[in-house]
Amino acid sequence: MASTNTDHPIETPFELARAETARKPKRMGRLNRWDTPWFNSKLITGVVIIGLILLIGILGRLFWNADLAYTASSPLNLPPVGFVNTRGQAGTWEHPLGTENSGRDMLALMIVGAPNSFMVGVIAATVGMSVGIILGFSAGFLGGRVDDVIRLLSDVSITIPALMVLIVIQALLKQIELTTMALLIALFAWPSPTRLIRGQVLSMRESGYVLMAKLSGASSFDIMFKEILPNLLPYLAASFIGNTTGAILAAIGLEVLGLGPQRVPTLGGTIYFAIEGAALLRNMWWWWGLPTLTLAIMFIGLLLINLGLDEIANPRLRQASQ
């Protein structure tokens, strides 16, 4: 008679999560449904922060005239409500966050600029992750010369000073759009996820459940996308958030140097025009302070999401935070 092996090793984040939940004492009442490692406070807080920023950007157009971010038809250099500028002008509710040097409304600039800046990071991270998944899986699962070539390409790409190359490329372009800038940033967004995925696939392809799938006659496609990929999802999500953060930082750096889109409002572009307009010397703190604060909140949200995903993927981090 065949015996059942009850000592099967726990090898995946999902199995570890289920085992950890099973070891915890059961709670009474409705609170027990939240007794799971997937209910991560950092992850939820970060998602709420990013969701609110995007929600304001989407729904704000319904309650505020977004065209004021493009047209210079408002009074110049008005401070936010409750403040007075150097010329004695007080803020008005017609422009609650004030206006900038050319008369564009700051609230409209935040409503339009925040989603645009976030979109650049998402596009660049999506392209970089797509390339990284294909190359990382190929290198880790196939091995041999394929692994050697992909590893060499990723190592060489990481050593290239990406920001300097992007500055040169965008300086040569007369005009640039948001999508174009995102795709240029994506040129340097694939090596990191490629290395991460390759390392995880190398460790997982020798695990028990993969060996059992091979013995059962499963194809390489089924093993890669039905056995390995589901267990990589926490790592892929964390890598995507990290890539998004890096892409936003790269875009902000280019925009602050004046190499970003000039006709589309972005947070980095607003800071660039504040520098050009000597906002610091003229005590127009709202011109550069509001986009900087929005970016800081956005990065805090992305950081919390990344920390939450790291804890989900790594049980030791999760236990240390409890």
The pLDDT of residue 2 is 44
Show the low-confidence residues of the chain (pLDDT under 70): 1-38, 220, 315-322
The pLDDT of residue 124 is 93
Encode pLDDT of 19-78 as tens digits.
554 555 544 433 333 345 557 888 899 999 999 998 988 888 888 988 888 877 778 889
The pLDDT of residue 205 is 74
The pLDDT of residue 13 is 53
What are the residue boundaries of the structural domains of the chain, listed by start? 41-320
Encode pLDDT of 239-248 as tens digits.
899 999 999 9
In whole angstroms, give the CA distance from residue 135 to residue 169. Answer: 25
The pLDDT of residue 28 is 40
The model scores a pTM over 0.75: yes
The pLDDT of residue 22 is 53
CA distances in angstroms from 241 to 34, 69, 288, listed in the order given: 24, 28, 26
The β-bridge partners of 99 are: 105
CATH topology of domain 41-320: MetI-like fold (1.10.3720)
Indicate the burial class of 297 (C-beta count within 10 angstroms; 0-12, 13-18, 19 or more).
middle
Please check whether residue 56 is in contact with residue 114, taking contact to mean a CB–CB distance below 8 angstroms.
yes
